[in-house]
Amino acid sequence: MKGAHRRIPASRAWVCAVLAAVLIHPAHAGPAWGERGIAATVHPLATDAAINAFKHGGNAIDAAVAAALTLGVVDGHNSGIGGGCFMLIRLADGRFVAMDGREMAPAAATRDMYVRDGKADIKLSQTGPLAVATPGALAAYDEVIKRHGRLPLRNHLLAAAEIAERGFTVDSKCAARLRNLVSVFARFDGSRAVFLKSDGQPWAEGEVWKQPDLARTYRAIAEHGTGWFYGGPFAQTVGEWMKKNGGVLTADDFRNYRLKFREPITTKYRGFTVVTFPPPSSGGVHVAQMLNILQSFDLKSLGQNSADMAHVVIEAMKLAFADRAYWLGDPDFTNVPRGLVSPDYAKTLAARIRLDQVSVVAGHGTPERAADDVFGKHTTHLSVADAEGNWVACTTTVNSTFGSKVVVPGTGVVLNNQMDDFSVQPGVPNSAKLIGAEANAIAPGKRPLSSMSPTLVLKDGQPVLAIGAAGGPTIISQTLLGLIGVLDFGLSVDAALAGPRFHHQWSPDEVKIERAFAADVREELRRRGHKLVETESIGVSQAVARDPVTGRFTGAHDPRVAGKAAGW
């Protein structure tokens, strides 16, 4: 299938896209290079931690964990040990590990725990004690280091603890975030102590923010092991605080937290092998599903960021997100059909896409053998690789900005609000406007559905790309667009991440689109029937790549944030 409507020559569209990206995102200054290793994260101190891990003899797994633990200190609104993560690892020997460190609902969680007088009160799933699910990130970091790292977890924890003690300079964005949340932080003693100064004011731009409690927590874990967190004083303190403050999370929930090793999803796209994260991520399923749909279209001939290309991709997004809302949930609790990622199912969906106008997607589709062939059951992404052939794509989160906004006094740890990723009531949108069904209803011990999509790409068996994103459901679209940029249009990682983005999640029926898109393209999309919601910026992605011929690494952070990519 090919679109013939108002085709822009691919070369012209490509030049426009890159130029637009450079103009809109002046931080776009070419990729970082490396021979022995590469890392890209949203914060310079976290990328430096990764490079330091390499310098001390660590591999990509060490570097990724060092970066993640540092992000928990300097970028705590996005991620930390009070949250969860998915880590997709390709080991030097060619094996893949999909480590699921996603949070679990507390044992006392119930399907209607946020329903008051018959109506879901989404404030409760988003802020405060009831929003918190049992964190999994630390357990995941510990496990991957034990199995595949070279340096002890302790080293990475102590390095990050030092930064927490010494402090870091608050930038304008961080200051604004803190300012906006003053009244919420003030509700919780522990949060007030961390985020507000003794005069009740938040840390301001240019000030050095020190986190002695978090440093002590990191040091205690370094000394006593993760048992201190999951089966010892930390869990006890949190459990007691929750009991007094209306939460349901207990010390037993921490003790009973279980990591899961998952089977990654693999699909073929334009001669590349794309490996991505399975449920309870919806990201991997739908990135693979959309790539399968897009196989039916020659995107390159439609033109990078042309209206034709954007139209086809938006239509694929709608179809995939309609399936997401119905089928996706924790595979240990609900049947998620494998057929969602089958090329045959994708062909039936591709056939529904019209090139000249929007299609009506009334609801989900039904892949083959939906009943019996099923998956065995604010955020940040970092990508790291080393010359031995170890690659890590890790997305980690406390969910929305500073998670539940709860820090239990004395711990310094921001607790997630991942419970809001469940469908709190059928048809009731969560903070990301996502709706869900039975598959993603709350149940004790269940993992909330995620959009996190850490993804690796191989060519002829050799890894060539690690990519992923932050930004709720737009993660899926960003990852898809990054993959299309590199795999269809041959862009370098920095150009692919700088390119303008769009996102459609089926419900609401609208396309979020960056203003960096050419005005005539936006106009043409409107003419075909798309409802556009223009925005300055969508999401944050980090990617690293390797040229299979020269062996040289490149890496890029998203130019929309002041991150850092570095090689060594």
Phi–psi pair at 533, nearest 5 degrees: -120, 110
Minimum Å gap between C-beta 434 and ligand DON is 8
Q: Are 411 and 212 in contact (CB under 8 A)?
A: no
Residue type, 90: R
Q: Which has the closest alpha carbon to 444: 422, 425, 426?
A: 422
Residue type, 395: T
Minimum Å gap between C-beta 29 and ligand DON is 24
Q: Which is nearer to ligand DON, 28 or 378 (CB)?
A: 378
Q: Is 450 in the site for ligand DON (CB under 6 A)?
A: yes
Phi–psi pair at 313, nearest 5 degrees: -70, -40
Q: At what angle do helices 153-166 and 44-55 cross, to 10 degrees?
A: 140
Q: Spot the catalytic one: 70, 134, 250, 379.
A: 379
Minimum Å gap between C-beta 323 and ligand DON is 16
Minimum Å gap between C-beta 554 and ligand DON is 25
Q: Which is nearer to ligand DON, 159 or 452 (CB)?
A: 452
Residue type, 63: A
Distances, alpha carbon 125 to alpha carbons 30, 187, 399, in Å: 41, 16, 11
Among residues 305, 334, 399, 430, which is the contact residue for ligand DON, using CB under 6 A?
Answer: 399
The CB density around residue 116, as the number of other CB atoms within 10 Å, is 11
Among residues 77, 90, 378, 528, which is the contact residue for ligand DON, using CB under 6 A?
Answer: 378
Among residues 472, 500, 563, 567, which is the contact residue for ligand DON, using CB under 6 A?
Answer: 472
Q: Is 127 in the site for ligand DON (CB under 6 A)?
A: no
Q: Which is nearer to ligand DON, 421 or 494 (CB)?
A: 421
176, exposed or middle or buried, with CB in 10 Å at 0-12, 13-18, 19+?
middle
Phi–psi pair at 129, nearest 5 degrees: -55, -40
Minimum Å gap between C-beta 215 and ligand DON is 25
Minimum Å gap between C-beta 418 and ligand DON is 6
Q: Which is nearer to ligand DON, 291 or 475 (CB)?
A: 475
Q: Is 404 in the site for ligand DON (CB under 6 A)?
A: no
Among residues 52, 125, 305, 397, which is the contact residue for ligand DON, using CB under 6 A?
Answer: 397
Q: Which is nearer to ligand DON, 93 or 536 (CB)?
A: 536
Of 420-439, which residues contact ligand DON (CB under 6 A)? 421
Q: What share of the chain is helix, strand, coil (3-state, %, to 5)?
A: 40, 20, 45
**Ordered alpha helix ranges (H), 278-404:** 283-294, 299-302, 307-327, 343-350
Rounded to whole angstroms, the Cα distance separating 225 from 148 reads: 17
Distances, alpha carbon 314 to alpha carbons 308, 340, 547, in Å: 10, 18, 30
Q: Which is nearer to ligand DON, 184 or 355 (CB)?
A: 184
3-class secondary structure, 192? helix
Q: Which is nearer to ligand DON, 143 or 421 (CB)?
A: 421
Q: Is 325 in the site for ligand DON (CB under 6 A)?
A: no
Minimum Å gap between C-beta 314 and ligand DON is 20
Minimum Å gap between C-beta 54 and ligand DON is 27
Angle CA 251–256–258, to nearest 5? 135
Minimum Å gap between C-beta 379 and ligand DON is 3
Query: How many residues of this chain bind ligand DON (CB under 6 A)?
Result: 14
Place of tokens 């041959």: 490
Place of tokens 């590349």: 272
Two tokens, residue 409: 């006094």
If you ran DSSP here, which 8-state letter would residue 450 be given? B
Rounded to whole angstroms, the Cα distance separating 489 from 303 reads: 9
Place of tokens 């037993």: 252
Q: Is 477 in the site for ligand DON (CB under 6 A)?
A: no
Q: Are 325 and 506 in contact (CB under 8 A)?
A: yes
Q: Is 161 in the site for ligand DON (CB under 6 A)?
A: no
Q: Which is nearer to ligand DON, 425 or 451 (CB)?
A: 451
Among residues 125, 304, 396, 451, which is the contact residue for ligand DON, using CB under 6 A?
Answer: 451
Rounded to whole angstroms, the Cα distance separating 97 from 297 reads: 31
| Pairing verdict, β 406-407 and 168-169 | unpaired
| Pairing verdict, β 553-556 and 502-504 | unpaired
- Among positive and negative, which fits the CA dihedral 434, 437, 439, 444? positive
Among residues 292, 379, 396, 541, which is the contact residue for ligand DON, using CB under 6 A?
Answer: 379
Q: Which is nearer to ligand DON, 250 or 401 (CB)?
A: 401
Q: Which stretch binds ligand DON (CB under 6 A): 4-12, 167-175, 259-267, 471-479?
A: 471-479
Q: Is 470 in the site for ligand DON (CB under 6 A)?
A: yes
Q: Which is nearer to ligand DON, 18 or 74 (CB)?
A: 74
Rg, Å, the chain Cα set: 22
- H/E stretch holding 164 reads helix 153-166
Minimum Å gap between C-beta 135 and ligand DON is 13
Catalytic residue check, 379: yes
Q: Which is nearer to ligand DON, 378 or 522 (CB)?
A: 378
Q: Which stretch binds ligand DON (CB under 6 A): 204-212, 325-333, 467-475, 498-506?
A: 467-475
Of 267-306, which residues contact ligand DON (CB under 6 A)? none
Minimum Å gap between C-beta 84 and ligand DON is 8
Cβ density class 14-45: b for 16+ within 10 Å, e for less: bebbbebbbebbeebeebbebeebbbbbbbbb
Q: Which stretch binds ligand DON (CB under 6 A): 50-58, 202-210, 397-405, 512-520?
A: 397-405
| Chain positions contacting ligand DON, by CB under 6 A | 378-379, 397, 399-400, 418, 421, 450-452, 470-472, 475
Q: Which residues are catalytic?
A: 379
